[in-house]
Structure 1
Amino acid sequence: MRKFETLLLLSPELASDAREELLSTLTGVIERVEGNVLEADHWGMRDLAYPVQKFMRGYYVRLEFEAPGTAIAELERIIRITDGIFKYVTVKLEEAK
């Protein structure tokens, strides 16, 4: 299994319970493809450098997880069709030597 990191920019209008439900959905997708969520780091509300969908603030969440490489396509498909997520980026983390 490879280690990945996904950074999510969520809508500032989402309530905290809606954010938790969204994150539990994403962790469920990772676990369904036999992955393992290592860390869910909430960075909180931050100012944006430029407006995104007319918002100047957004809520950042970093997910670190282990999963097979084929799991990324399914995770990003779910992210794209989910309301409340403005932007995302997924990167493969280097393995420890």
Structure 2
Amino acid sequence: MMNNYELMVIFTPILSEEEYAAMQKKYVDFIQENGGVIVHQEPWGLRSLAYPIQKKTTGLYWVLEYQAPSDLNARLTVQLNRDEQVMRHMITRLDKYAVEYNAKRRAGIQQNAIQKEFDNLNA
């Protein structure tokens, strides 16, 4: 059975844009190769940390929503723990209300982006 999950990863801030994109692709590919389906991914970019991790005060955040069998998370956690570029990660199982909320939020973000683009064209 496929469950809905959200993965949040904080990568080390010393990654270049290309390395940051490659790390995202690495984990997307891992999930897909192990029977998961990517629902949505959202790179948040460089953000300040609430407290220093490994003497760093910033990190590159990335959020991934996916569907997968529950046994995939154990293998994914092993991969994340082995990766030196990952400072922290968290996998959360989403219930039907969280899935619905995320879908509405994404639709709202897309609508806002379309409206801003329209406003810029008319300005």
Same fold (TM over 0.5): yes
User: In the TM superposition, what is the alpha-carbon distance from 1:40 to its structure 2 partner?
Assistant: 1.1
Structure 1 segments, 4+ long, off by >6 Å, are: none
Q: 1:3 and 2:4 equivalent?
A: yes
Matched residues in 1 for 2:28 and 2:50: separation? 28
- Corresponding residue for residue 77 of structure 2: 76
1:44 and 2:62 aligned? no
% identical equivalent positions: 25
Counterpart for residue 61 of structure 2: 60
Structure 2: where are the runs of 5+ without partners? 101-123
Amino acid at match of 1:67: A
Higher relative contact order (CA closer than 8 Å, sequence separation 6+): 1
| Paired AA for residue 22 in structure 1 | M
1:37-64 Cα shifts (integer Å, max 9, x gaps) = 1111011111111111011111110010
Measure how far apart 1:20 and its partner are. 1.1
Query: Secondary structure of 1:12's partner?
Result: coil
Select the structure of larger CA radius of gyration. Answer: 2
Indicate the structure with greater helix content.
Answer: 2
Q: CA deviation at 1:16?
A: 1.0
- Give how far 1:24 is off: 1.0
Listed as ranges, the gaps of 5+ residues in structure 1 are none
